[in-house]
Amino acid sequence: MEKVIIDPVTRIEGHLKVEVTLDQGIVKEARTSGTLFRGFEIILKGRDPRDASQITQRVCGVCPIAHATASVFALDQAFGLEEKIPSNARIIRNLILGSNFLQSNILHFYHLAALDFVDLNRLARYQGEDARVRALKEFLAGGNSSPFFPRYEGDYRLDDRANEELASHYLLALEVRRKTHEMLAIFGGKMPHNVGMVAGGVTEKPTVDKISAFLWRVNEIREFIDNVYFSDVMRIAEKYGDYLEMGASGYRFLSYGAFNLNRHPIDQTKRSRLYPQGLADVALKLADLEPERITEQVKNSWYEDEITNRHPSRGDTVPSENKSGGYSWIKAPRYDGEPCEVGPLARLAVGYSLSQPPVRDLVEKSLSGMKLKFPNLLSCLGRHLARALDTKLVADAMAEWVLQLKPGEPIYVAYELPEEAEGMGLTEAPRGSVGHWIRIKRGVIDNYQLVVPTTWNASPRDDSNQPGPIEKALTGIKVRDSRNPLEVVRIIRSFDPCLACAVHFVTPKGRELEWFRIS
C-alpha cells in the first residue's frame, strides 16, 4: 500500500488536499479535505438581512453570482416579494447569472483543466504563424517556465496540431472570459461581486444601448462556444477516450434548477426554469426535489456527532477537531441519506430525464454528432462535455432573454423589512446546486445557512461510511505513476471544485466564541 498526498490541489478555486491510498497502482481509498475556513455564517449573524446578498457573494470570486442569486431568492421569499418581482428584474438576474456561468465554465476548461491534457513542451517545434502560439513558444524558449512548468509528467497525448490549437485557445479564452465579465457588468455594475442584483429586483435599467451592447457580446461568445470550445473538448475526448469510461461517481444526480422563466409556480421547487429541478439516477430514473429530505452528516467530519443528520435550516456547527475518524471540515450533505453528484452533468441528466425540450434536444443532437451515448457522459471527460453543453444552452437562451427586456418598465419593487421571517433560495452555480436558508429575528439575521455544490461533491464519508462523489469517482482508478498522479487530478478537476464555497460552516472551538454557536 502506498499513500499519495496532493496538497495543495492547484488550478481549482480554494484550498483542497487529497489523499489516495494505492494498492499496486489502484486507488483503494480517497479522502478529500478542505483546508481553509472563514466562518461566513457567524459573520452574517446580526447583520441587516439585505447585506446577505453582498456578503455571501464574497464566499467565492469565481461564482459570486450563484450566491447573490440564492441570497436574493431567499430574501425575496422572506420579504414576501416572490410574486411581485418585475419581469425585467427576473430577466436581468438571469442575464447576470448566465454571464457568470459562461465565465466560470470557460475559465474552468481552458485555464484550470486543460493543462492536464495539453503539452506546451511541444510548442518548441512550432513553425506556423499563429501569433498566440508564437508568443507562447518564444516565452518558453526564452528560458521562462512559470506558471506553466513544472507540472506532472506523463501521458500528454495530443498531436502537434491539436496541442498548438489548444495552446492558442488557452490565450484566446483569456480574452473571451474577460468579455463575459464585461457583459455581466453592463447590468451588474462590476464583476467580480456585482451590485446589480438586490432583494426586490435589480438596480440597473434596461435601455436600448445596454441591450444591444449585451447582445453583441453574447453573440460573440456564442460563436466561440460553438466553433472553438466545443470542438476543443471533442479533440481531447478523441485522444483520451479512456477518460470517457472512468471517473463516474455512480451516485444520483441532483439539480435545484436555474434561470426562472416565470415567477410561477410560487414554489421554487416547481418554478418554471430553463434547468428543471429534480433528481435522476444513472438509469435516468427521476424523483421530485423535496429539500426537506436533505440532511448534513458529520461522523467523519470534525464536528460533534450530536449534530449529525439535521436539515440545513436546523443545522448546527459544533467543531471537534480531534475527533477520532474525522478528516475534513466539510460536512457530508445527503439526500434521503444518499450522496449526490451536482454540476453541469447533473443538470443535464435531470433535464434530459425530464425530456425538457431545450436540454433534451441539445443533448440528443450533440450525442449523436459525437457518436456517443448518454452513459459516456458519466465520466471524467463527460463532465467536461456536459460543461460545454451547459455553456451553450445558457448562452443561447441569454441571446433570446435579452431581447425580452422592456425599456421603461419596472426593475424593482420596494418593501418593508420584516421583523421576523424565513426564506429559502435555491439555484444552480456553474459547478452545481446552491441553497441558502435565512431566518430573520428582530429585523436582523438570526441564522443563515448555505449548502453549496462542492460540499456535495467533495464531501467526506457520511454516517454510513459512504464516500463522497469525488472520493467515489477516484476509487478503483489506476494510477500509472504515483509521483505524477495525473489520473487523480484530471478526475478531481472534472468536478470543478470550489473549496472556498465548500467550507464556511465552521465555528472555531474556543471559549471566547462559544456564545456565537448557531442553534
Partner 1 sequence: METKRQPVIWLQGAGCTGCSISIMNSVSPSIKNLLLDEVVPGSFLQLVFHPTLMAATGEASIEVMLDTREKEEGRYILVMEGGIPTARGGIFATVGEKNKEPVTVLSRFVSLARGSLAIIALGDCATFGGIPAARPNPTGCKGAKDVVEEEKIDVPIINVPGCPPHPDWFVGTVAHILLYGLMSSDDLDELNRPKIFYGQLIHENCPRRPYFDEGKFARKLGEEGCLYELGCKGPFTYADCPLRHWNGGVNWVIGAGSPCLGCTEPSFPDITGPFYKKISHWEKLKPSLK
Residues 486-505 that bind partner 1 (CB under 8 A): 489, 500
**Residue (345 or 486) nearer to partner 1, CB:** 486
Please report how close the Cβ of residue 277 comes to partner 1 at its closest, in angstroms.
Answer: 27
DSSP 337-374: TB-EE-SHHHHHHHHHHTT-HHHHHHHHHHHHHHT--G
Q: Which residue in 95, 380, 411, 452 binds partner 1 (CB under 8 A)?
A: 411
Among the listed ranges 21-29, 376-384, 428-436, 507-515, the one in contact with partner 1 (CB under 8 A) is 507-515
The Cα–Cα gap between 462 and 333 comes to: 8
Residues 362-391 that bind partner 1 (CB under 8 A): none
**Residue (35 or 269) nearer to partner 1, CB:** 35
Q: Which residue in 23, 149, 264, 306 binds partner 1 (CB under 8 A)?
A: 149
Among the listed ranges 141-149, 276-284, 391-399, 449-457, the one in contact with partner 1 (CB under 8 A) is 141-149
Alpha-carbon dihedral sign for residues 99, 103, 106, 109? negative
Letters for 413-442 (x = contact with partner 1 by CB under 8 A, - = none) are -x----------------------------
How many CA atoms lie less than 13 Å away from 74 in the CB half-sphere?
Answer: 31
Residue of 492, 482, 489, 486 lying closest to 24 (CA atoms): 482
Residues 198-217 that bind partner 1 (CB under 8 A): 198, 200-205, 213
**Residue (96 or 389) nearer to partner 1, CB:** 96
Cell representation of residue 335: 439526500
Letters for 214-253 (x = contact with partner 1 by CB under 8 A, - = none) are ----------------------------------------
Question: What's the order of all strands across the beta sheet hosting 444-451?
Answer: 421-429, 432-441, 444-451
Checking phi first, is residue 452 left (phi over 0); if not, alpha (psi -120 to 50) or beta? Answer: beta
Q: Which residue in 136, 228, 244, 502 binds partner 1 (CB under 8 A)?
A: 136
Please report how close the Cβ of residue 140 comes to partner 1 at its closest, in angstroms.
Answer: 9
**Around Cβ 129, how many Cβ atoms within 10 Å?**
7
Among the listed ranges 140-148, 222-230, 237-245, 392-400, the one in contact with partner 1 (CB under 8 A) is 140-148
Residues 102-131 that bind partner 1 (CB under 8 A): 107, 111-112, 115
* Helices 380-401, 344-353: inter-axial angle, 10-degree rounding: 70
Q: Indicate the SS3 state at residue 252.
A: strand
Q: How many residues bind partner 1 (CB under 8 A)?
A: 89
Please report how close the Cβ of residue 464 comes to partner 1 at its closest, in angstroms.
Answer: 28
Contact 301, 269 (CB under 8 A): no
**Residue (181 or 222) nearer to partner 1, CB:** 181
- Three-point CA angle 513, 308, 32, nearest 5°: 85
**Residue (98 or 257) nearer to partner 1, CB:** 98
**Residue (54 or 376) nearer to partner 1, CB:** 54
**Residue (46 or 128) nearer to partner 1, CB:** 46
* Helices 64-78, 87-106: inter-axial angle, 10-degree rounding: 150
Please report how close the Cβ of residue 285 comes to partner 1 at its closest, in angstroms.
Answer: 37
The Cα–Cα gap between 160 and 162 comes to: 6
Instruction: For residue 458, state whether it binds partner 1 (rule: CB under 8 A).
Output: no
**Around Cβ 36, how many Cβ atoms within 10 Å?**
15
Residues 6-65 that bind partner 1 (CB under 8 A): 6-15, 17, 35-40, 42-43, 46-48, 50-51, 54-55, 58-62, 64
**Residue (115 or 254) nearer to partner 1, CB:** 115
**Residue (119 or 462) nearer to partner 1, CB:** 119
**Residue (79 or 251) nearer to partner 1, CB:** 79
Please report how close the Cβ of residue 338 comes to partner 1 at its closest, in angstroms.
Answer: 30
- Three-point CA angle 272, 277, 280, nearest 5°: 145
Q: Indicate the SS3 state at residue 97.
A: helix
**Residue (43 or 215) nearer to partner 1, CB:** 43
The Cα–Cα gap between 256 and 396 comes to: 21
Q: Which residue in 29, 87, 130, 132 binds partner 1 (CB under 8 A)?
A: 132
Please report how close the Cβ of residue 198 comes to partner 1 at its closest, in angstroms.
Answer: 6
Q: Which residue in 75, 123, 156, 196 binds partner 1 (CB under 8 A)?
A: 196
The Cα–Cα gap between 402 and 419 comes to: 36
Please report how close the Cβ of residue 393 comes to partner 1 at its closest, in angstroms.
Answer: 23
According to DSSP, residue 235 is labeled: H
**Residue (96 or 254) nearer to partner 1, CB:** 96
Q: Indicate the SS3 state at residue 74.
A: helix
CA dihedral 355, 357, 363, 365 (to 10 degrees): 120
**Residue (189 or 358) nearer to partner 1, CB:** 189
Residues 151-190 that bind partner 1 (CB under 8 A): 151-152, 171, 174-175, 177-179, 181-182, 184-190
- What is the C-alpha end-to-end distance of the chain, expressed in Å? 43
Residues 263-282 that bind partner 1 (CB under 8 A): none
Question: What's the order of all strands across the beta sheet hosting 340-341?
Answer: 286-287, 278-280, 252-255, 340-341
